[in-house]
Structure 1
Amino acid sequence: MKKRFVSSVLALIAVLCLGVTVHAAEKKPIVIGHIHSMSGALSMYGISSEAGGSIAIEEINAAGGILGRPLKMITRDDKANPEVGLREAKDLVISENADFLTGTVSSAVGMAVSSFAKKEKIIFMPSNAQSSRMTEDEFHPYIFRIATNSVVYWGYAPAIALANTKKVKKIISLGWEYETGKTALKQFKEKYLEMVPDAQIIDELWAPLGTTDYTAYINKIKNSGADAFYLAAVYGGGELAFTKQADSFGLYDQMLAIQPCAGDIESWYTVTKGGPFPKAALATTRYPFWAIDNPRSKVFVEKYKNKVGQYPSYGAMNHYNTIYALKAGIEKAGAVDTEKIIKALEGLTLDTLIGKVQIRAYDHQAMMPTWYGTMDYAEGLPFPHVVKVTPIGEEGYHTIEQIKKLRESK
């Protein structure tokens, strides 16, 4: 009788536990609509971003989710087209009931999604798009960026790095002729000429967005008499094409290159010694995992390598951090309530893969650092990367006073 009673109790406990497990699994998921370039020339950014976010979601769900609810990510391809990105954002919210929106690498797509998020009062967290306008003069309460922006990455950090190392006097620039390229050069000049007042940009060269043949521009740079050239917001396949051609013309042996995007590994992880790369270029990087002594980062790198088969980029880190920022905001708010989460995130200090980072309340911009150094090979990695990195933090961003003036001038 006693054995039968014990067996009955154990069976009841098992049923109750099973019921709890089933109930938890049946809880409505928190849906993250992820919009990114998953095909085409910029797919390297979309694929890495999605993978980084997936790792964060797997970790969070394995630990019980957020407020007992699982996370679910639905990814859509924006094809680097603002109209497509906007269409996908609308469908994610209307058809998939997305609670949050993340993603984009194209700033034009990011701006379109940001405008939609403002109208629909849904939080949007861009994971790659760098346009500072989203958090500065085009700011609204529903935008948060747990990533760098164009000020620190394209403009101020390269300028500070150059002023702290070389202090060259004559610079020629080449950029893609679009909003981010123009803004990048403007912000670089703003900071560098403040720090080295007797320097000058002797010429500005602009190539159509997506240019692949840079021969004419490289010849102009070589014959300009400049001490250095600055590459303004040319990235992805465009940067690869430029670098191969510049290397074949001996441009990197003739003058210093200031090539911000070169420091991120998306373009170079397949390059081995002997292949063309931005030799000795002064570059910035947003995730020098090889130089970061953080246990969480080391675990993330291994998980990413096992999942994707290569090293993680900054986009992977950004989206991983973004998912955990949402977790922190929701848990602090105590509910999946947009307005409460906004208040919870403002001024919050996050524990990221690169350490403690605060979200500035005024512009919802996380003070993510950027590192600089020169491009070379070093023991430990088979591809060229930034070596002997130096961090640039909040000093690389516009101050609140600067942003106030930008908003007032609209």
Structure 2
Amino acid sequence: MAFQNLLQGSSSVMIPRPHRPGRKRLFPVIIALTLSLFFPGLLGADLVKIAILIPREEPGLEGGPAYLRGAELAVAEVNSNEGKQGAQFLLFLKGGAFHQPASLNSLRDLFFEQRPQFLLGALQKEAILPVSRLAYEHRAPFLVFPVDFMEAASTGEEPPNLFWISPTPESYQRAAVRAIAQSPGQKLYLLAQGSPMGRNWVKYFWEEMGRLKPEAQRLGETFIPSPVDDFTPYIRNILATHAEVCLSHLGVKDWLRFYRAAQGQGYFRKVNHFELEMGNLESLLSMKKKVPEGIGGVSAFPFWGLTQKETRQFVGKYRKNTGVYPSLAALSGYVSVYAIFHTIKKTGTSAAEKTLSALEGLSFPTPVGPMTIRKSDHRAMWPIWYGSTQNKSEYPFPVLGDLKAMGPDSFSP
């Protein structure tokens, strides 16, 4: 399949809300005329059309803009570098709250008018299932990054076109268990969200700790509501137990509230603390440069500690284009586009019946090393690292140091 030159380095086209048949379609016609004037031959080109979905900005939601920037960077690279071999991608952007009927109808219009072969998105967990079902009606592979990925577990109800390009919640949990099992403290306390997933996580932790560290003492656990305005009572309760180690899964926003309250009570001088999401870039950027050393956390993209050329190149290009450091969402957008590219390269076509099967079990290079999409549940086998805070770094935020890598094989069922 031949792919001709597209936009010569431009990576995205902003598409307005599509119109159903019978409505005026002036704006798309203007776009087409403009492209034909400035890029002769484009409209007759054989293109790979990719629609990318970004949630509208809402309080508590992160990741959409970074995901888009990462995807745009990858598309620009494909079109300028790989384009010499023929592959050319056209990216369509659509925003909305895709668990709501109006946004889903608008997405149906997009499929009707633009006929994208692939769908990407950084979405809330509530939107993933309805969007994947809609995309499956058009046999389009859907590669998704859940913006709340720590709460977005597979349900078994997903259609076969859905592929998860994110770390699994289980990988974070297992990394935390192994980190605590290797720590010197024996007296353990847990803080977790009061959701069903939070309760399952606590159950799993104590079961695994009994196997990996049978001498550990279970001092207790607290399930907290979210959000919590004042963590002071919870912190006093932990200190009263004389816990040596406290493991929490609070999420980025609640963790920052806990951290500020704990700092004021000298908590980190008395307790070794480990927060699952503390190693995410959003958490690190929100903490001051000078933090207590030794707070543990997990990261799926600790670029500051990765020395391979591919990592450095991605971070450098992303910073040059955006002026900020890339988050996990940015990496997922970038990786998702390259998953599509390597699928087409493997099959020689963008036809859905071939690409859907080729994505299952696909192995391809990424800035964090080779990645495989697991055939059994369509999950990307994403590597994980854990470590503890260090102040001495070249970055304007604290980082996780003393990193220990846990390859994706560690989390296979």
State whether TM-score is above 0.5.
yes
Aligned to 1:181: 198
Residues 1:56 and 2:74 are matched in the alignment? yes
Residues 1:92 and 2:111 are matched in the alignment? no
Aligned to 2:372: 358
Q: Deviations over 1:115-150 (max 9, x none)?
A: 555566432222244358754744542221232100
Normalised by the length of structure 1, the TM-score is: 0.80
Shift of the alpha carbon at 1:318? 1.6
Unmatched tracts of structure 2, length 5 or more:
1-35
Aligned to 2:6: none
Structure 1 pair 366/226, CA: closer, same or farther in 2 (3 Å)?
same
Aligned to 2:251: 235
Q: Which amino acid aligns with 1:236?
A: V
2:231 to 207, 214, 222: 214
2:120 to 102, 111, 125: 102
Residues 1:70 and 2:70 are matched in the alignment? no
Secondary structure of 2:167's partner?
A: coil
Secondary structure of 1:316's partner?
A: helix
Secondary structure of 1:60's partner?
A: helix
Q: Which structure's residues are more often helix, by fraction?
A: 1
Q: Deviations over 1:93-132 (max 9, x none)?
A: 4335443333336434435544555566432222244358
Aligned to 2:4: none
C-alpha contact (below 8 Å) 1:360/1:367 kept by paired residues: yes
Shift of the alpha carbon at 1:252? 1.6
Matches within 5 A, 1:286-301: 286-301=300-315
1:225 to 235, 238, 242: 242
**1-side partners of 2:131 and 2:226: how far apart?**
21
**2-side partners of 1:287 and 1:213: how far apart?**
30
Residues 1:145 and 2:145 are matched in the alignment? no
Secondary structure of 1:144's partner?
A: strand
Matches within 5 A, 1:257-336: 257-269=273-285, 271-274=287-290, 277=291, 279-336=293-350
Aligned to 1:385: 399
1:249 to 265, 270, 279: 265
**2-side partners of 1:111 and 1:176: how far apart?**
24
Secondary structure of 1:365's partner?
A: coil
**2-side partners of 1:130 and 1:194: how far apart?**
27
Q: Deviations over 1:315-354 (max 9, x none)?
A: 1112111110011112322222223112112222111011
133-142 vs 344-353, greater mean Cα deviation: 133-142
138-147 vs 380-389, greater mean Cα deviation: 138-147
**1-side partners of 2:311 and 2:129: how far apart?**
30
Shift of the alpha carbon at 1:376? 1.7
**2-side partners of 1:303 and 1:189: how far apart?**
43
Aligned to 2:23: none
Structure 1 pair 204/272, CA: closer, same or farther in 2 (3 Å)?
closer
105-114 vs 285-294, greater mean Cα deviation: 105-114
C-alpha contact (below 8 Å) 2:74/2:334 kept by paired residues: yes
Structure 1 pair 132/264, CA: closer, same or farther in 2 (3 Å)?
closer
**1-side partners of 2:216 and 2:102: how far apart?**
46
Shift of the alpha carbon at 1:388? 1.7
**2-side partners of 1:104 and 1:284: how far apart?**
21
C-alpha contact (below 8 Å) 1:92/1:98 kept by paired residues: no
366-375 vs 298-307, greater mean Cα deviation: 298-307
Q: Deviations over 1:143-163 (max 9, x none)?
A: 21232100001x101111222
**2-side partners of 1:307 and 1:217: how far apart?**
42
Shift of the alpha carbon at 1:203? 2.7
Shift of the alpha carbon at 1:368? 1.1
**2-side partners of 1:371 and 1:30: how far apart?**
35
**1-side partners of 2:130 and 2:207: how far apart?**
27
Structure 1 pair 180/56, CA: closer, same or farther in 2 (3 Å)?
farther
**1-side partners of 2:307 and 2:72: how far apart?**
23
325-334 vs 264-273, greater mean Cα deviation: 264-273
Q: How many residues align?
A: 373
Structure 1 pair 90/229, CA: closer, same or farther in 2 (3 Å)?
farther
**2-side partners of 1:231 and 1:105: how far apart?**
25
